[in-house]
Amino acid sequence: MYRSRFEKEMDELRSNLVRLGLLVEESIDRSIAALIKQDRVLAETVIAADREINGLANQIESRALNILLRQQPIATDLRIISTALKMVTDLERIGDQAEDICTIVLHLIDENYVAQGKWIILPKMAQLAKQMVNASIDSFIKQDIDIAKKVIETDDEVDILFAKLRDEMIELLQSKPKYANQAIYLMMVAKYFEKIGDHAENIADWVVFCKTGEKKHRKI
């Protein structure tokens, strides 16, 4: 009876964590679309949705801590709960960054965003960061170390794209100073997508820990 109740609580924990991941993925999708389309309504939708993400994250953390306090899980289950708690932190921060991106999108709209369609690196970077988040959550659901390790390796690609975009924005600042505000905003957006990639890498690293008990690093 005790184990059956514990397993039910663990299933609910996993289910809520997957739900949180889906909400975060949706916010990333919408933030990318809002950026590319310069869609004010979509940007405001992402900003408003962050409250739901934060609420669910707090709920998951509370339930995970209750399981730890009441059930006294064995080592393997303890790693799963610890991983869930760490993942919640990274997912919640990804949601915050999607919100921050959309706040900048609103400023870009006011600045008459002329770089749309020209700076193709940013959409590529955004899509790659999104794929990393998707894969990191998938690696947790499937408990698949190979998927997790691929996510960790992919983060270098995001960093390379960020460096390229940074160079393009410096060039824009030098050649067309009137677009200085825009260049700064785009750099901020790129930095947020880089951070999203870092959080996805963290999630993947926690999945490796969950399966092996080994924790290599945490970037942020």
Distance CA(169)–CA(208), nearest Å, equals 36
Structure tokens at 208: 């490796």
Band of residue 156 on the pLDDT scale cut at 50, 70, 90: very high
Share of the chain above pLDDT 70, in %: 93
Structure tokens at 152: 């960790």
- C-beta pairs of 78-82 under 8 Å, 24+ apart in sequence: 79/209, 79/210, 79/213, 80/10, 80/210, 81/10, 81/13, 82/209, 82/210
Mean pLDDT of all residues in the chain?
89
Q: What is the pLDDT of residues 13-42, one digit of tens each?
A: 989 999 999 999 999 999 999 988 889 999
pLDDT on residue 41: 96
Lowest mean pLDDT among 67-71, 85-89, 159-163: 67-71
Lowest mean pLDDT among 43-57, 151-165, 201-215: 201-215
Distance CA(33)–CA(140), nearest Å, equals 26
- With tokens 């890498």, the residue in question is 201
pLDDT of residue 96 exceeding 80, the answer is yes
pLDDT of residue 194 exceeding 90, the answer is yes
- With tokens 């590529």, the residue in question is 124
pLDDT on residue 8: 87
Band of residue 117 on the pLDDT scale cut at 50, 70, 90: very low
Does residue 91 contact residue 18 with C-beta atoms inside 8 Å? no
Lowest mean pLDDT among 9-23, 72-86, 157-171, 190-204: 72-86
Architecture of domain 4-219: Up-down Bundle (1.20)
Does residue 127 contact residue 32 with C-beta atoms inside 8 Å? yes
pLDDT of residue 100 exceeding 90, the answer is yes
| Per-domain boundaries in the chain | 4-219
pLDDT on residue 173: 83
If residue 139 lies in a helix (H) or strand (E), which one and from where to where? helix 121-142
Q: Which residue has the higher pLDDT, 103 or 6?
A: 103
Band of residue 47 on the pLDDT scale cut at 50, 70, 90: very high
Rg of the chain over Cα atoms, rounded to whole angstroms, equals: 19
Distance CA(9)–CA(75), nearest Å, equals 16
Band of residue 2 on the pLDDT scale cut at 50, 70, 90: low
Phi, psi torsion values for 120, nearest 5 degrees: -70, -15
pTM metric for this prediction: 0.90
